[in-house]
């Protein structure tokens, strides 16, 4: 308006603020007194807020990039101010509601309690990055206190430690057979009880030999000192 009609900047902002404050203009000025200031009609704000409220209620999350495209320049601050009484988990690219967090926690707990695994990605919004999904899963594991009972594989798969142990036990017999076969093919690796006894005797013999040697050296040194004193 300043550029189009040549209004004086100070006069325009003063009149505009008066019209907004008295209610003659139903809206607000965002951006202060500068060339990037924007007038937002109340009807636009109401429509914007209605869309945000409906999307969060229906989907359980809000993507920050989508809010920017909607005309909200600082989405994180906007969401915190508008939903200050709601319990939201703020990630890098989005914020998620408690319903979605509860769903992730339930999946993690079920995997641990049933000694199985679960892939969290199918129940998460596609807009979440790998980092965001990792943050959400980590929060769910802390809340359910299963950090020591499960681990995360492939960024989104939560696997029970008991499930991993059960999988490893399936290979016990095969490993025993492989070890026995290896011993037969390479007898040099076979250690018997006699080998252990011989090793023990060798160690004791070496220790005794070293002790006798030290004793002989001590006696020789003492004799040499006595001889020098006599001379």
Predicted TM-score of the model (pTM) = 0.63
In this model, does residue 227 exceed pLDDT 60?
Answer: no
Helices (H), 33-160: 42-59, 64-69, 75-82, 98-113, 130-144
pLDDT tier, 231 (very low <50, low <70, confident <90, very high otherwise)? very low
What percentage of the chain exceeds 70 in pLDDT? 80
- Bridge-based pairing state of the strands 157-160 and 117-119: antiparallel
Q: What is the pLDDT of residues 88-104, one digit of tens each?
A: 999 999 999 999 999 99
Rounded CA-CA distance 25/16 in Å is: 8
Ranked by mean pLDDT, the top range of 24-28, 75-79, 199-203, 219-223 is 75-79
> What length is written for the chain?
231
3-state secondary structure of 33: coil
Rounded CA-CA distance 114/106 in Å is: 12
**29 CB contacts (<8 Å, ≥6 apart)?**
13, 16, 17, 20, 37, 38, 39, 40
Rounded CA-CA distance 215/205 in Å is: 15
The CB-side HSE value for 84 (13 A sphere, CA atoms) comes to: 4
In this model, does residue 208 exceed pLDDT 60?
Answer: no
Q: What is the pLDDT of residues 153-195, one digit of tens each?
A: 999 999 999 999 999 888 888 888 888 887 777 765 556 666 6
């Amino acid at each position: 308006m300043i550029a189009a009609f040549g209004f004086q900047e100070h006069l325009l902002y003063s009149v505009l603020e008066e019209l907004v404050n008295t209610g003659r203009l139903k809206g607000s000025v965002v951006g202060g007194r500068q060339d990037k200031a924007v007038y937002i009609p109340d009807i636009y704000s109401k429509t914007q807020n209605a869309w945000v409220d409906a999307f969060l209620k229906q989907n359980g999350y809000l993507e920050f990039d989508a809010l920017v495209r909607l005309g909200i320049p600082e989405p994180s601050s906007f969401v915190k101010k508008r939903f200050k009484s709601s319990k939201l988990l703020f990630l890098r690219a989005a914020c998620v509601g408690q319903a979605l967090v509860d769903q992730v926690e339930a999946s993690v707990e079920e995997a641990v309690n049933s000694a199985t695994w679960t892939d969290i990605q199918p129940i998460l919004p596609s807009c979440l990055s790998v980092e965001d999904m990792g943050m959400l899963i980590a929060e769910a594991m802390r809340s359910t206190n299963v950090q020591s009972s499960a681990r995360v594989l492939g960024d989104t798969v939560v696997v029970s430690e008991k499930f991993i142990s059960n999988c490893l036990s399936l290979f016990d017999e095969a490993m025993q057979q492989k070890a026995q076969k290896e011993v037969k093919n390479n007898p040099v690796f076979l250690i018997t009880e006699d080998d252990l006894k011989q090793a023990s005797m060798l160690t004791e013999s070496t220790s005794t030999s070293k002790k006798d040697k030290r004793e002989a050296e001590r006696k020789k040194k003492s004799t040499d000192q006595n001889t020098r004193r006599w001379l």
